[in-house]
């Protein structure tokens, strides 16, 4: 059932690699050393690395010894995406502290506190309550953290010398794993463990349980997998498009041709700003929706009706 979307995803990733390889080859043949260095910098911007780009040169990040867990090699070294993930976390913590102090001092928030209140009220009234009901307000801290954390990581990739940690599938996978845990926890807390396990049967006859239970369990994992790949692909795709457009300058090696790609890149950058907010909203909205489906199962007639909904 999921093979066509997965095939499209595989084709898209393959195409993005082909574009990057083609543009890199074009930059390496017939281009001056300065042009090759500039184009290499553009390609490195969308990749993870063990160094940070700054106006004063590259800063080498800490390398740590590798180790293996169950035969799987693990490299705990600090990378560029890890650094910007930490930066986003630090900004989020400082912003939360600042907003809390502002709201404590003033009965009516103003300025930055009022701006954050707009986002918080929007998430509560337009995302959490419609999808999860009044009981979903208890999960507001997690959903707000998810929204602002993803938003900050997205926005950091739009600043000079920055990087989008959400363009790394390991980061989005980590966010999806946390979402998976929260989705199951919300369902178990609302339904009870017995009712939660009963819904895995799909409400069908016991003779069909060997077929239905694996399908239902697989369905539990497809939701966070979709969250992971959607965020990763959307945040990576925009940067690939920008690099591809700028790569046209190196292919044609003409200042006249450069006018059109630069204009398109400016437009794509504004679109990326919108996408940064949109993807944070979609991840948060879908997470709350999946949590709400588990929480509200008890109000819709049990497993049989849930299986038909």
What are the residue ranges spanned by the domains of the chain? Answer: 48-60+78-308
User: In 10 A of CB 235, how many CB atoms?
Assistant: 25
pLDDT of residue 1: 43
pLDDT of residue 40: 55
pLDDT of residue 6: 45
Measured distance between the N- and C-terminal CA atoms of the chain, rounded to whole angstroms: 18
Pairing of strands 51-54, 67-69: unpaired
pLDDT of residue 43: 59
- Give per-residue burial for 274-289: e unless 16+ CB within 10 Å, then b: ebbeebbbbbbbbbbe
pLDDT of residue 39: 52
* Alpha-carbon distance values, 298 to 180, 184, 189, 191, 255 (Å): 20, 14, 11, 6, 65
User: What are residue 89's DSSP bridge partners?
Assistant: none
Q: Which secondary-structure segment (H or E) carries 85?
A: helix 80-105
- Give per-residue burial for 7-24: e unless 16+ CB within 10 Å, then b: eeeeeebeebeeebeebb
Per DSSP (E only), the strands in the chain are 51-54, 57-60, 67-69, 72-74
Low-confidence ranges of the chain (pLDDT < 70): 1-46, 106-109, 297-309
Residues with Cβ within 8 Å of residue 171, at least 6 apart in sequence: 81, 85, 153, 165
């Amino acid at each position: 059932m999921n093979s066509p979307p997965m095939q499209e995803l595989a084709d898209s990733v393959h195409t993005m690699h082909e574009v990057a390889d083609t543009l890199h080859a074009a930059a390496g043949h017939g281009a001056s050393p300065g042009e090759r260095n500039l184009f290499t910098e553009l390609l490195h911007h969308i990749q993870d690395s063990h160094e940070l780009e700054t106006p004063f040169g590259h800063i080498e990040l800490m390398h740590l010894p590798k180790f293996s867990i169950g035969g799987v090699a693990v490299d705990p070294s600090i990378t560029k995406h890890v650094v910007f993930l930490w930066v986003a976390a630090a900004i989020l913590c400082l912003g939360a502290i600042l907003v809390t102090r502002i709201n404590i001092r003033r009965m009516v928030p103003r300025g930055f506190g009022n701006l954050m209140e707009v986002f918080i009220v929007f998430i509560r009234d337009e995302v959490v309550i419609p999808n999860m009901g009044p009981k979903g307000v208890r999960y507001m801290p997690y959903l707000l953290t998810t929204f602002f954390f993803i938003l900050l990581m997205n926005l950091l990739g739009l600043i000079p010398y920055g990087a989008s940690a959400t363009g790394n599938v390991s980061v989005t996978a980590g966010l999806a794993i946390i979402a998976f845990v929260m989705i199951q926890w919300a369902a178990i807390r609302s339904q009870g463990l017995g009712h939660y396990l009963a819904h895995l049967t799909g409400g069908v006859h016991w003779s069909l349980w060997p077929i239905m239970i694996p399908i239902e369990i697989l369905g539990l994992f497809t939701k966070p997998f979709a969250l992971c790949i959607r965020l990763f692909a959307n945040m990576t795709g925009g940067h690939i498009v920008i690099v591809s457009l700028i790569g046209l300058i190196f292919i044609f090696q003409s200042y006249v041709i450069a006018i059109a790609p630069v204009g398109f890149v400016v437009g794509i950058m504004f679109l990326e700003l919108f996408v940064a907010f949109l993807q944070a909203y979609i991840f948060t909205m879908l997470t709350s929706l999946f949590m709400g489906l588990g929480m509200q199962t008890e109000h819709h007639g049990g497993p049989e009706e849930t299986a038909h909904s």
